[in-house]
Copies of this chain bind each other. A is one copy, B any other.
Amino acid sequence: MHILILGAAGMLGCKLTERLLRDGRLGRHEISKITLQDVVSPRPTAAAIPLDVIAGDFVGADAAAALVASRPDVIFHLAAIVSGEAEADFEKGYRINLDGTRYLFEAIRAVGDGYRPRLVFTSSIAVFGAPFPAAIGDEFLNAPLTSYGTQKAICELLLVDYTRRGFLDGVGIRLPTICVRPGKPNKAASGFFSNIIREPLAGENAVLPVGDDIRHWHASPRSAIAFLTHAASFDAAQLGARRNLNMPGLSVTVGEQIAALANVAGPSVVARIRREPDASIATIVEGWPRNFKAERASKLGFAAAETSFEDIIRIHIEDELGGSFVH
């Protein structure tokens, strides 16, 4: 089985690559080759599986045709610019997040000859916009409040139509906010959800710009990788015509996040969180989904690695911090 990963240098792309190299197989199939694409060169670890690395933009008819010319069996399409950038640069957002996906789908269609790869598309809960019910069900409308969410929702629709027409075998997964996101604090409006856990565990201070009552929908990086590999290997015919799924997650408040941090790491770690209310961030967060009933995905075998926010913190300590943190 030949696997292509678009956006392989991103956080999820790196973790997915590591996982596939470690497993050597995806579902019931042995992996014969992995092709990694990103605008910056993805740095794979030494591997027993043949690796191709393509450093360059994937947006464009020629670039897309080159990526699928070798007919990969599974394509993970993780490539996108993030929400903040898509909002700041309208044209770039549509070019990368919408046109890039369409070039890819068209390149796959152009291969023809019965070529019909499993295509796993990482969508987002940003396809939803307030006002919300208490928990968003599997039949709630897409009403994005950002250009990023709009672009993801459009790609979901294309994924379904190209699948229905027999050009590809698409599965879209709407990921919760990934928490704890490893790396450095960034300027994403959602960054604080991870910052208030990651930084204190590393002995650093973190800023909390919203109130303790803010509720949000989370999944660990470990869960995200489990969702991706399951999406690539399960029997997608079970989806029928609706190929996009809300992934399982945890609905917790910021206060519950902090209480979990106290339970796992103690009050001295929690003391590194500094409250600095920021009305502009609070307004943005108001429009975000808080809670889901991800019934279809659960029935189809998509399972999170965690059952509590304490688990999410422990997964971060295990997977990112080598099992220990700064007391």
Interface code A110-146, partner B: CB below 8 Å = 1, 0 otherwise? 0000000000000000000100010000111111110
A157-B160 CB under 8 A given contacts A129-B241, A241-B145: no
Distance of A220 Cα from B154 Cα, bound (Å): 31
Known: A90-B165, A154-B158. 9 other contacts (CB 8 A): A129-B241, A139-B140, A139-B141, A143-B241, A144-B160, A150-B158, A150-B160, A154-B154, A157-B157
Interface code A144-155, partner B: CB below 8 Å = 1, 0 otherwise? 110100100110
How many residues of chain A are within 8 Å of chain B by beta carbon?
23
CB neighbours (8 Å) of A129 from chain B are 241
CB neighbours (8 Å) of A143 from chain B are 160, 241-242
**A320 contacts the other chain (Cβ, under 8 Å)?**
no
A140-B141 CB under 8 A given contacts A129-B241, A154-B154: yes
CB neighbours (8 Å) of A241 from chain B are 129, 143, 145
Give how many copies assemble into the complex: 2
CB neighbours (8 Å) of A150 from chain B are 157-158, 160-161
**A33 contacts the other chain (Cβ, under 8 Å)?**
no
**A15 contacts the other chain (Cβ, under 8 Å)?**
no
**A272 contacts the other chain (Cβ, under 8 Å)?**
no
Contact B145–A153 (Cβ < 8 Å):
no
Which residues 230-245 of A sit at the B interface, judged by CB distance below 8 A? 241-242
**A164 contacts the other chain (Cβ, under 8 Å)?**
yes
CB neighbours (8 Å) of A153 from chain B are 157
CB neighbours (8 Å) of A242 from chain B are 143
Interface code A289-327, partner B: CB below 8 Å = 1, 0 otherwise? 000000000000000000000000000000000000000
Please name 29 pairs of A and B residues whose Cβ atoms are closer than 8 Å in the assembled complex, sorted by A.
A90-B165, A129-B241, A133-B139, A138-B141, A139-B140, A139-B141, A140-B141, A141-B141, A141-B142, A142-B142, A142-B157, A143-B160, A143-B242, A144-B157, A144-B160, A144-B161, A145-B164, A145-B241, A147-B161, A147-B165, A150-B157, A150-B158, A150-B160, A150-B161, A153-B157, A154-B154, A154-B157, A154-B158, A157-B157
